[in-house]
Structure 1
């Protein structure tokens, strides 16, 4: 019975500290993202892509692509500014556990099992900017899929930082019917290589 009580107390303490740490991360990231209109622009761009991709008429589809250009450029520019601002965060506060589940104090106790979100956001910023500029010379449709993947992988990283990798992947699957491995395959090769390098994983 004593062991059971101790286990319950330990689990309760673990949940308390995990919840507090996650709340602090949400506030930290939100304090930087709140300076910009990144979320709104992202919703507008992704919604526009879905309309364009569902448009059968080629001319009307081209009109949607042109209409979205200023919003795409604004999104890339604002995210670039966010990356510069977020780079000023103290490193210990930007460390993210590579473990699937969220455990409190991992970044302090086992820093080797973490990665730096500031560097990862830098990768996302470059990936989004290059995809919007279409440095690969892709077709409008293929370019849209690449930009979408870059944006969703960035969103996955934000959720990973605030919650956990498992929660981030589950949200991506539930909201966008896309798995984490599918996102990695859909982004530009340069983004994928740089992203995996920050995570300390072998490239593909």
Structure 2
């Protein structure tokens, strides 16, 4: 009985610590997002791309996609602003665990199992800018496909930083019916190469 009670107390304490840690991460990212309108613009793009793809007429589809050019540029610029702002945070504050589940303060005690969120944001910013500026590389539909993947991966990274890798995977699947593997395979080569390199790096500061 005493062992069971002790285990229950340990689990309860762990849950409280984890929730407090995650709230801290959410607040940190939220402070940097407060003056941006990233979520609204991303929603505009993802919904707009879905509507465009449903257009049966190819000409009309291109016209719809072209209407989002300004929003695409704004999103790319704001992700760059977020990456620059997060650069002011310390390495400890920006560390994120590579394990599927959340280990509070892993960046302090298990640095080899963490990665730098600041670097990841710069990868997203560079990748988005590369796709936004790719008018002559892909047709409008293909470009929108790659941009959607870039946005999904960026959103996944933010959820990962705030919660955990497993939660980010689950939200990606629930919201967009796509796996992390599929999204990573659909972003630009610039993003994918840098992202995989970031994953391979050790977390020692």
Verify same fold: TM over 0.5.
yes
1:97 aligned residue: 97
2:150 corresponds to 1:150: yes
Report the secondary structure of 1:134's partner residue: coil
2:33 corresponds to 1:33: yes
Q: CA–CA distance in 2 between the matches of 1:103 and 1:136?
A: 44
Q: Is the 8 A contact 2:184 2:192 kept in 1?
A: yes
1:55-83 C-alpha deviation (Å, 9 max, x unpaired): 11122212212211111111111111111
Q: CA–CA distance in 2 between the matches of 1:193 and 1:126?
A: 12
Report the secondary structure of 2:36's partner residue: coil
Gapped runs of 5+ residues in structure 2? none
Count residues in correspondence. Answer: 201
Gapped runs of 5+ residues in structure 1? none
Q: Is the 8 A contact 2:96 2:115 kept in 1?
A: yes
Q: State the Cα distance separating 1:134 from its structure 2 match.
A: 1.1
1:8 aligned residue: 8
What TM-score results when the alignment is normalised by the length of structure 2? 0.94
Question: Quick check: 26-35 or 57-66, which moved more?
Answer: 57-66
What TM-score results when the alignment is normalised by the length of structure 1? 0.95
Report the secondary structure of 2:130's partner residue: helix
Bigger RCO of structures 1 and 2 (CA < 8 A, at least 6 apart)? 2
- CA RMSD in angstroms comes to 1.2
- Output aligned runs, 1:178-193, within 5 Å: 178-193=178-193
Q: State the Cα distance separating 1:31 from its structure 2 match.
A: 0.6
Q: State the Cα distance separating 1:135 from its structure 2 match.
A: 6.8
2:117 aligned residue: 117
Q: CA–CA distance in 2 between the matches of 1:62 and 1:106?
A: 47
